[in-house]
Amino acid sequence: MSASLSAAAHTLQTFYLQHHGWLVARLRRKIGCPWDAADLAQSTFLRAWTAPGPPLDQVAEPRAYLTTIAQRLLSNHLRRRQIERAYLEALGALPDPVAPPPDVQLMVLETLVAIDQLLDGLPAVARQAFLLWRLEELTQEEIAQQLGLSRTTVRRHLATAAERCYFGMGE
């Protein structure tokens, strides 16, 4: 092991030992599940370690830094759980022979989460118009009537949402 790698590992170890217990306790209070809190804390330290920027021993406010990273990860975690619950409820409404096998269910869930991330940041009406267009297969005119918008506005929202999906600009 080289000296610089050894020093970096020592820095990470020190940073981890100083802040891990605090971060896990904070996350546990927020989400109530010790296992999810531990997983999110690990992900937070991994993200902090691999993020561009100053070395961990030079971060001016380590707890604020970790809190920011953890809050973003927690938000993504909670959003994924929300999508997963909605998907499982929809699957539960299907008769057993129609429900897809578990591997297909996981693939669909991953796709739904990816679409959600791509559309995140769009106005709610643009997301709703896009989903009506792609999932309900409504025409632009039908979407305009349902949402109380002009057809031109619907077309603009659809173009923006499609561009995000095509070019992956929601990340």
Token pair 């999110």 is found at 40
CB 156 within 8 A of CB 125: no
State how far the Cα of 16 lies from the Cα of 13, in Å rounded to an integer.
5
The overall average pLDDT reported for the chain is 88
Sign of the torsion angle spanned by Cα atoms 147, 133, 91, 113 = negative
Q: pLDDT of 43-99, one tens digit each?
A: 999 999 888 888 888 888 999 999 999 999 999 899 888 888 888 888 888 777 777
DSSP letter at 84?
Answer: H
State how far the Cα of 83 lies from the Cα of 116, in Å rounded to an integer.
9
Q: What is the band of 168 on the pLDDT scale with cuts at 50, 70, 90?
A: confident
pTM of the model: 0.67
Q: Which residue has the higher pLDDT, 6 or 108?
A: 108
CB atoms within 10 A of CB 87: 15
For the cut 70, the answer to whether the pLDDT of residue 170 exceeds it is no
**Phi, psi (5° rounding) for residue 147?**
-95, -5
State how far the Cα of 18 lies from the Cα of 63, in Å rounded to an integer.
10
